[in-house]
């Protein structure tokens, strides 16, 4: 079983690339952002809770996110592997994921990051906000807050995975096909 964490700042292209990777490598794609948005759309209790944080560009509390992620993994007992997108985003989430997988006799195979410059990403998100309808994409202040959250809480994960020898990175700037090719080169070595 291979379990890959797709890592990168907001707007780095994780969701776009995950669509290709999940097909090519037969992985179940779990995007915490997508799952939260699905819950918001369906007006569930989880959605109502998550929305209060997401609309401001804050992270949803760890406990809520970790429980949700674990139940999504458990819904896919026959998966050949998982592609985690947008999770973990804090050290506490990474530790919870490690122990959760360990209890199942599994582990994280690798973390693969999409790297890109902040200014390019902010411009991309504002552009996406014109059509995505996402409140967190439509306001530069909220976007900047997401980067604050990333820098404070998520960036330390790079060392967490580097220390385990599991961190890989590709240049996230280029066409979708070019970035996809770079990712495939790494994934081919991991599977």
**By the criterion CB under 6 A, which residues form the site for ligand ADP?**
10-11, 32-33, 36, 53-54, 57-60, 65, 86-87, 89, 93, 136, 146
Structure tokens at 155: 């960036």
Tell me how far, at minimum, the Cβ of 10 lies from ligand ADP, in Å.
3
Three-class SS of 109-149: CEEEEEECCHHHHHHHHHHHHHHHCCHHHCCHHHHHHHHHH
Active site residue 134: yes
Task: Check: CB of residue 183 under 8 Å from CB of residue 170.
Answer: yes
Residue nearest to ligand ADP (CB): 33
φ and ψ at 84, to 5 degrees? -90, 125
Tell me how far, at minimum, the Cβ of 153 lies from ligand ADP, in Å.
8
Q: Which is nearer to ligand ADP, 21 or 54 (CB)?
A: 54
φ and ψ at 114, to 5 degrees? -105, 115
Active site residue 146: yes
Options 24, 124, 134, 166, the catalytic residue: 134
Q: Which is nearer to ligand ADP, 33 or 81 (CB)?
A: 33
Q: Which is nearer to ligand ADP, 93 or 180 (CB)?
A: 93
Active site residue 124: no
Among 6, 3, 16, smallest CA distance to 112 is for 6
Tell me how far, at minimum, the Cβ of 135 lies from ligand ADP, in Å.
10
Tell me how far, at minimum, the Cβ of 15 lies from ligand ADP, in Å.
7
Q: Which residues face 8 on adjacent strands? A: 114
Tell me how far, at minimum, the Cβ of 121 lies from ligand ADP, in Å.
9
* Cα–Cα distances in angstroms (integers) from residue 91 to residues 96, 119, 131, in the given order: 8, 26, 32
* Rounded distance between C-alpha atoms, residue 39 and residue 2, angstroms: 27
Q: CA end-to-end span of the chain, whole Å? A: 9
Options 24, 128, 153, 182, the catalytic residue: 128
* Rounded distance between C-alpha atoms, residue 138 and residue 129, angstroms: 5
Options 9, 37, 89, 142, the catalytic residue: 89
Q: Which is nearer to ligand ADP, 17 or 32 (CB)?
A: 32
Give catalytic residue positions: 14, 89, 128, 134, 146
């Amino acid at each position: 079983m291979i379990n890959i964490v797709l890592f990168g700042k907001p707007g780095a292209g994780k969701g776009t690339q995950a669509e290709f990777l999940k097909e090519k490598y037969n992985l179940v794609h779990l995007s915490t952002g997508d799952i939260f948005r699905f819950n918001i759309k369906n007006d569930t209790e989880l959605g109502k809770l998550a929305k209060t944080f997401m609309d401001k560009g804050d992270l949803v509390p760890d406990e809520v996110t970790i429980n949700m992620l674990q139940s999504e993994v458990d819904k896919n007992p026959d998966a050949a592997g998982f592609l985690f997108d947008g999770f973990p985003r804090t050290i506490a989430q990474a530790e919870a994921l490690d122990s959760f997988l360990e209890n199942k006799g599994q582990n994280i195979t690798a973390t693969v990051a999409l790297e890109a410059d902040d200014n390019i990403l902010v411009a991309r998100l504002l552009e996406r906000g014109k059509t995505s309808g996402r409140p967190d994409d439509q306001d530069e202040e909220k976007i900047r807050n997401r980067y604050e959250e990333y820098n404070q809480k998520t960036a330390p994960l790079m060392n967490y995975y580097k220390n385990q020898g599991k961190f890989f990175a590709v240049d996230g700037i280029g066409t979708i096909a070019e970035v996809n090719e770079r990712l495939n080169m790494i994934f081919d070595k991991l599977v």
